[in-house]
Chain A
Amino acid sequence: MFRNIWTIAQRDFRSYFTSPIAYVVIGAFMSIVGFMFFFNLDHYVRQMAFSAMGNKGVSVTDGIVRPFYGNMNVILLFIAPMITMRLFSEEKKMHTIELLMTSPLTLTEIIVGKFCSAMLLVGVMLLVTSIYPIVLFSAFTPDYGPIVCSYVGTFLLAGCYMAVGLFLSSMTENQVVAAASTFGVGLMFWIISWAASAAGPFWSGLLTNLSLIGRFNNFGQGLLNSADIFFYLSYIFVGLFLTHRVMDSYRWR
Chain B
Amino acid sequence: MISVSHLTKFYGPRKAIDDLSFEVQKGEIVGFLGPNGAGKSTTMKILTGFMPATDGKAVVAGHDVFEDPISVKRNVGYLPETPPVYTEMKVKDYLEFTGKLHQVPTTSLSKSVKNAIERTSLGDVQNRLIGNLSKGYRQRVGLAQALLHNPKVLILDEPTVGLDPKQIIEIRELIKSLGGDHTVILSSHILPEVTAICQRIIVLARGKIAAEDSLEGLTMRMKKGLIYSMEVKKPSSEGVDAIRKIPGISGVSSNGSKLLVEMTAGSRDVRDQVVEMAVNRGMGVLEFSPEKVSLEEIFLQLTTEENHSAAAHAGGM
Instruction: Report which A residues bind B (CB closer than 8 A).
Output: 3-4, 7, 11, 15, 18-19, 94-106, 251-253
CB-based contact A101/B50 at 8 Å: yes
B3 within 8 Å of A (CB atoms): no
Q: For the complex, what is the distance from the CA of A14 to the CA of B83, rounded to whole Å? A: 21
Smallest CB–CB gap between A120 and chain B, Å? 16
Smallest CB–CB gap between B139 and chain A, Å? 13
CB-based contact A95/B50 at 8 Å: no
B85 within 8 Å of A (CB atoms): yes
Name 15 extra pairs, CB < 8 A, besides A99-B145, A106-B70. Answer: A4-B103, A7-B101, A15-B86, A15-B88, A19-B88, A94-B87, A96-B85, A97-B84, A98-B82, A99-B80, A102-B76, A102-B78, A103-B98, A104-B103, A251-B50
Contacts of B11 in A (CB 8 A): 253
CB-based contact A104/B50 at 8 Å: no
Q: Which single residue of chain A is at the shortest CB-CB distance from B72?
A: A104
CB-based contact B97/A98 at 8 Å: no
User: C-beta contact mask, B89-104 vs A, less than 8 Å → 1, else 0?
Assistant: 1000000011011110
Q: Which single residue of chain B is at the shortest CB-CB distance from A110?
A: B101
Q: For the complex, what is the distance from the CA of A253 to the CA of B51, rounded to whole Å? A: 8
Contacts of B103 in A (CB 8 A): 3-4, 104
CB-based contact A104/B51 at 8 Å: no
| A–B complex contacts, Cβ < 8 Å, 6 sampled | A7-B100, A15-B86, A94-B85, A99-B145, A102-B49, A102-B73
CB-based contact A252/B89 at 8 Å: no
Q: For the complex, what is the distance from the CA of A253 to the CA of B82, rounded to whole Å? A: 18
- Given contacts A104-B103, A105-B101, is CB(A98)–CB(B88) below 8 Å? no
CB-based contact B50/A98 at 8 Å: yes
Partner of A98, one of B80, B100, B102: B80
Instruction: Report which B residues bind A (CB closer than 8 A).
Output: 11, 45, 48-52, 70-71, 73-74, 76, 78, 80, 82-89, 97-98, 100-103, 145
Smallest CB–CB gap between A92 and chain B, Å? 11
Contacts of A106 in B (CB 8 A): 70
Contacts of B48 in A (CB 8 A): 102
Smallest CB–CB gap between B12 and chain A, Å? 9
Contacts of B51 in A (CB 8 A): 251-252
Q: Which single residue of chain B is at the shortest CB-CB distance from A95?
A: B82
Q: For the complex, what is the distance from the CA of A164 to the CA of B88, rounded to whole Å? A: 25
Contacts of A95 in B (CB 8 A): 80, 82-84
CB-based contact B73/A18 at 8 Å: no
Q: Which single residue of chain A is at the shortest CB-CB distance from B78?
A: A102
- Given contacts A18-B88, A94-B84, A251-B50, is CB(A99)–CB(B70) below 8 Å? no
CB-based contact A104/B74 at 8 Å: yes
CB-based contact B52/A103 at 8 Å: no
CB-based contact A7/B70 at 8 Å: no
Q: Which single residue of chain A is at the shortest CB-CB distance from B71?
A: A104
Residue among B76, B84, B86, B103 with the highest chain A CB neighbour number at 10 A: B84
Q: For the complex, what is the distance from the CA of A102 to the CA of B78, rounded to whole Å? A: 8
CB-based contact B88/A104 at 8 Å: no
Partner of A96, one of B50, B71, B73, B86: B86
Contacts of A253 in B (CB 8 A): 11
Smallest CB–CB gap between B91 and chain A, Å? 14
Q: Which single residue of chain B is at the shortest CB-CB distance from A17?
A: B88
Q: For the complex, what is the distance from the CA of A94 to the CA of B88, rounded to whole Å? A: 11
Contacts of B76 in A (CB 8 A): 102
Q: Which single residue of chain B is at the shortest CB-CB distance from A6?
A: B100
Smallest CB–CB gap between B67 and chain A, Å? 14
Residue among A3, A7, A251, A252 with the highest chain B CB neighbour number at 10 A: A7
CB-based contact A94/B80 at 8 Å: no
Q: Which single residue of chain B is at the shortest CB-CB distance from A96?
A: B84
Q: Which single residue of chain A is at the shortest CB-CB distance from B86?
A: A96
CB-based contact B85/A7 at 8 Å: no
Q: Which single residue of chain B is at the shortest CB-CB distance from A18?
A: B88
Q: Which single residue of chain B is at the shortest CB-CB distance from A8?
A: B101
Contacts of A100 in B (CB 8 A): 101
Q: For the complex, what is the distance from the CA of A210 to the CA of B8, rounded to whole Å? A: 47
Q: Which single residue of chain A is at the shortest CB-CB distance from B157?
A: A98
* 4 closest A-B pairs by CB: A99-B84, A103-B101, A95-B82, A104-B74
Contacts of B89 in A (CB 8 A): 15, 18
- Given contacts A19-B88, A99-B145, A252-B51, is CB(A7)–CB(B97) below 8 Å? yes
Q: For the complex, what is the distance from the CA of A99 to the CA of B73, rounded to whole Å? A: 11
Q: For the complex, what is the distance from the CA of A50 to the CA of B228, rounded to whole Å? A: 107
Smallest CB–CB gap between A69 and chain B, Å? 34
Partner of A103, one of B45, B73, B82, B86: B73
Q: Which single residue of chain A is at the shortest CB-CB distance from B98?
A: A99
Contacts of A15 in B (CB 8 A): 86, 88-89
Smallest CB–CB gap between A82 and chain B, Å? 16
CB-based contact B88/A11 at 8 Å: no
Q: For the complex, what is the distance from the CA of A11 to the CA of B90, rounded to whole Å? A: 12
Q: For the complex, what is the distance from the CA of A19 to the CA of B97, rounded to whole Å? A: 18
CB-based contact B100/A252 at 8 Å: no
Contacts of A96 in B (CB 8 A): 84-86
